[in-house]
Amino acid sequence: MYDKPAAECRAKCSGYPAIEHGQVSPSGAVWVDTRISIACKEGYVLESGSPSSATCVDTGEGGDYDASGAVCVAVCVAFPEVEFGTVTPSGEVRAGDVVSVVCDEGYALEGHAAVFSTTCEDSGLGGEFDRSPPRCVEKPVYCAGVVVEHGYVSPDGDLVEGASISVTCYQGFHFDEDVASPFTATCIKDDNGGESINGVDYLGVLDLAMPVCVPDIDEEEKQEDAVIMSASEKGLYSQCMEWRDNKDGVGKKNNLALRKQMAQMAYCMQQDCQASLKASLTCRWTDGNRLCYSMAGQGFCGRNIPNSACQDLGEAAGDVTNFGGDGTWVPLTSVEVYGSAALLASSPFTCNCFKGCAHYTGSNKLNKYRCTNATPAAVVGTIEGSPAQVVVDTNNYGSGDKNGECACSCGYAGTATWEAGDAQ
């Protein structure tokens, strides 16, 4: 007979499965009926529905826990309070939750933003908001940007209180009333409370109503022409057409910097100059900007004079043998600056051309030329202190047959602000 109690086999549970950002106590294997507690590390909390404890039970086949699937999620402490604003929700939030801030009446988010929201994200060390707290400031006074048909507005976009805009009409248009050009207006606070546009409150209004730009030639006057010039007949040479469209605000680059405007006009003058030297083209007939019509326009004007669309430079301009005499074609010598560049350079620039020459392809096209018989056939539009005054050095710059070609440049006399046409 044995004096010791009979041996008993008890079930045992292995350690509770690891929980990311969590911990259990006690850890490791435990006997049946042992209860363990489940907790998350700092910066994390148990996901809704996750157990906070589990007990080791005998399943008949060994030990297992009666609760599983605990998950720890990142938590963000309450978003800081915002003076003159309301934070929603105001307490602790979990990863993925969104907090919004709405400013009190009479205040707005700094920076002119319409709404503010931030999301609680898991940084790996707990929850963090993806944006810093905003500031609610007293609503600033803004005026909504304006558009004037057939006119330039500078600067474009919204205006802050006290800022002014300048308005000028496109080439071929003028203000319909006795309004000085450029027209200016200033943003002031709207005593009527302003208006809301696309969720943005504009509390300002311009102190003057916008003027209207109307054509220089009204429709009734245009209809007096016996024949109306078609769109294709109004065509100019490519660079001149681009310059005209940009200046009129309908081109792809209607706010070019000053130097780019001068460069484009230099290309334009080069094309017109070369047309004036070709008997099959000539440049007797021009548009209102005194830019040469292409072949279709030359033909139309020759057949339909008088016509308000055609400006006649005279028979001498149509004589391709008249390189530099009276009435010959010459480049523009007073080109208005357009767009925002006009605010920096209000005075017109000038252009000149070497007929029978081409710009040298070296490092300084403005001062080097290749010319027919190594001598410029004619310098037209000559301005003292401009690149056209440079003497052509036949020993350095070469010669060659440049009949029918032109080297043109545009800029301001006596300054370094000049741009050349294309090298050939």
DSSP state of 323: S
Q: Which two tokens stand for residue 203?
A: 């509390």
**Residue with token string 């230099």:** 266
Tens-digit pLDDT profile for residues 256-302 = 899 999 999 999 999 999 999 888 888 899 998 999 999 999 999 98
Q: Which two tokens stand for residue 156?
A: 């474009």
Instruction: Let me know: does 256 contact 397? Beta carbons within 8 Å.
Output: no
Coil, strand or helix at 282: coil
Encode burial over 324-349: b for 16+ CB neighbours within 10 A, e otherwise. eeeebbbbbbebebbbbbbeebeeeb
Q: Which residues of the chain have pLDDT under 70?
A: 1-7, 112, 217-225, 361-368, 373-378, 381-400, 422-424
For residue 17, whether the previous peptide bond is cis, meaning omega lies within 30 degrees of 0, is no
What residue spans define the domains of the chain?
12-70, 75-138, 142-215, 231-420
Residue 406 has what pLDDT? 86
Coil, strand or helix at 213: strand
Residue 120: half-sphere exposure toward Cβ, Cα within 13 Å: 25
Long-range pairs for 88-93: beta carbons < 8 A, 24 or more residues apart: 93/120, 93/127
H-run or E-run covering 297:
helix 295-303
Select from 3.90.550.10, 2.10.70.10, 2.60.40.10, 3.40.50.720 the CATH code of 75-138. Answer: 2.10.70.10
Residue 30 has what pLDDT? 94
CATH of domain 142-215: 2.10.70
Coil, strand or helix at 302: helix
**Residue with token string 């700094």:** 110
Angle 350-355-360 (CA atoms, 0-180°, nearest 5)?
85
Chain centroid to CA 249: how far? 15
Residue 393 has what pLDDT? 46
**Rounded-to-integer distance, Cα 67 and Cα 50, Å:** 9
Residue (of 404, 380, 270) closest to 328 by Cα position: 380
For residue 376, whether the previous peptide bond is cis, meaning omega lies within 30 degrees of 0, is no
* DSSP bridge pairs for 186: 164
Residue 321 has what pLDDT? 76
Tens-digit pLDDT profile for residues 95-144 = 999 999 999 988 888 876 778 999 999 999 999 999 999 999 888 788 98
**Residue with token string 């190594």:** 374
H-run or E-run covering 187:
strand 183-189
Fold identical between 12-70 and 142-215?
yes
pTM, two decimals, is: 0.47
Sign of CA dihedral 169, 171, 172, 178: positive
Q: Which two tokens stand for residue 197?
A: 């546009």
What CATH fold (topology level) applies to the domain 12-70? Complement Module; domain 1 (2.10.70)
Instruction: Let me know: does 291 contact 268? Beta carbons within 8 Å.
Output: yes
Number of separate helices (H) and strands (E) present in the chain: 5, 33
Give the DSSP letter string of 31-100. ETT-EEEEEEPTTEEEPTT--SEEEEEE-SSSEEES-----EEEEEPPPPP-TTEEEES-S-EETT-EEE
Residue 115 has what pLDDT? 84
Residues 6+ apart with CB under 8 A from 207: 185, 186, 187, 188
